Amino acid sequence: MKPRSTTLRRSNGARRSTVSRRGHAAGAALGLVALATACAGNRPEPFEGSPSRGQMISHFDLAVEARGHVIMGEVGAFRDAVSALSDLEPADDLDATIILQLGPMRWEAREAAMARTVEEAAQGAAKIAATCGECHVANGDPLADRFTIGGPPPPGTAARHMAGLAWASRLLWDGVIGPSDRMWVAGAEGLVELGALPEGLPADLPAGDVRIAGVRLQQLGGRAALLRDTEERIDILAEIWTVCATCHTGG
């Protein structure tokens, strides 16, 4: 039996794909990040059994894509992803209460599509995540108990370290979209533990700037662990992603 709400309408047609050209060092760094993000994304699907599973998977996939572009510092590709998210029409068989809750998410996605800087894109991505969490709570279907914390890979290589950071970032995001205090705190504590970046990372930033970025991530993780207000979590998550993007793009 096919899950409900699998047929979606897109008003803007196919999205454009963007390919950024970077130097050898930046390309290697982005390769590590892409690998790390893919590893961190391997986890059970949280929407099993939901009557709106098909629609939610489409939203989830586009939101994950947008988040990834922010972390990589790809503002143009981010705008494409959130534009597609804002243009997703509700499936015909979706409950009216859920359709009403999708309005704020699509609004934030339209606002985010106007981002011109990494900072604006990061703020937009975090706000979209918060509307997801608000919708889950309003419809009595929070994802807090469906997410799995897992754990970072063992230390040893730059790729493993980046995978650990991607894992912590994903937990923070889960904490907002769940919403889930447990996931949020686990992600914040993971950032404190893993924020110090190892030497020898392929990056365009000078080594001293990379160290400063690592310290900043640890500081932000420590602050994030103490936050309970959603608006404050949105702001600090955007700060964290901006630091990530700055390091990945060389400032």
Query: pLDDT at residue 40 above 80?
Result: no
Distance CA 146, CA 41 (A): 15
Query: Dmax of the chain from CA atoms?
Result: 56
Phi-psi region of 88 (alpha: psi -120 to 50; beta: other; left: phi over 0): beta
Q: What mean pLDDT, rounded, does the chain reach?
A: 79
Distance CA 179, CA 145 (A): 10
Concatenated DSSP letters for the chain? -PPSS---EETT-SPPP------HHHHHHHHHHHHHHHHHT-S--TTTT-TTHHHHHHHHHHHHHHHHHHHHT-HHHHHHHHHHHHTEEPPTTS-HHHHHHHHHHHHHHHHHTT--SHHHHHHHHHHHHHHHHHHHHHTT---TTT-----PPPSSSHHHHHHHHHHHHHHHHHHHHTT-HHHHHHHHHHHHHH-SPPTT---SS-HHHHHHHHHHHHHHHHHHTT---HHHHHHHHHHHHHHHHHHHHT-
| Amino acid at the residue 215 | V
Q: What pLDDT shows up at residue 46?
A: 55
Yes or no: say if 12 and 84 are a contact pair by the CB < 8 Å rule: yes
Query: pLDDT at residue 115 above 90?
Result: yes
Query: pLDDT at residue 33 above 50?
Result: no
Q: What pLDDT shows up at residue 22?
A: 38
Q: What is the arithmetic mean of pLDDT over 223-234?
A: 97
Q: What pLDDT shows up at residue 153?
A: 83
Share of the chain above pLDDT 70, in %: 76
Q: What is the arithmetic mean of pLDDT over 100-109?
A: 88
The closest alpha carbon to 129, from 189, 68, 182, 80, belongs to 68
Q: What is the arithmetic mean of pLDDT over 208-233?
A: 95
Q: What pLDDT shows up at residue 1?
A: 35
Least confident of 17-21, 24-28, 104-108, 171-175: 17-21
The closest alpha carbon to 151, from 189, 178, 180, 181, belongs to 189
Q: How confident is the model at residue 53 (pLDDT cuts 50, 70, 90)?
A: low
The closest alpha carbon to 19, from 62, 64, 69, belongs to 69
Q: What is the arithmetic mean of pLDDT over 23-37?
A: 43
Yes or no: say if 212 and 251 are a contact pair by the CB < 8 Å rule: no
First to last CA, the chain: 49
Per the model's pLDDT, the better-predicted residue between 11 and 247 turns out to be 247
Model pLDDT for residues 160-185, shown as the tens digit of each residue? 888 999 999 999 999 999 999 999 99
Q: What pLDDT shows up at residue 226?
A: 97
Residue 208: count of CB within 10 angstroms of its CB: 8
Structure tokens at 209: 């700037």
Per the model's pLDDT, the better-predicted residue between 56 and 197 turns out to be 197
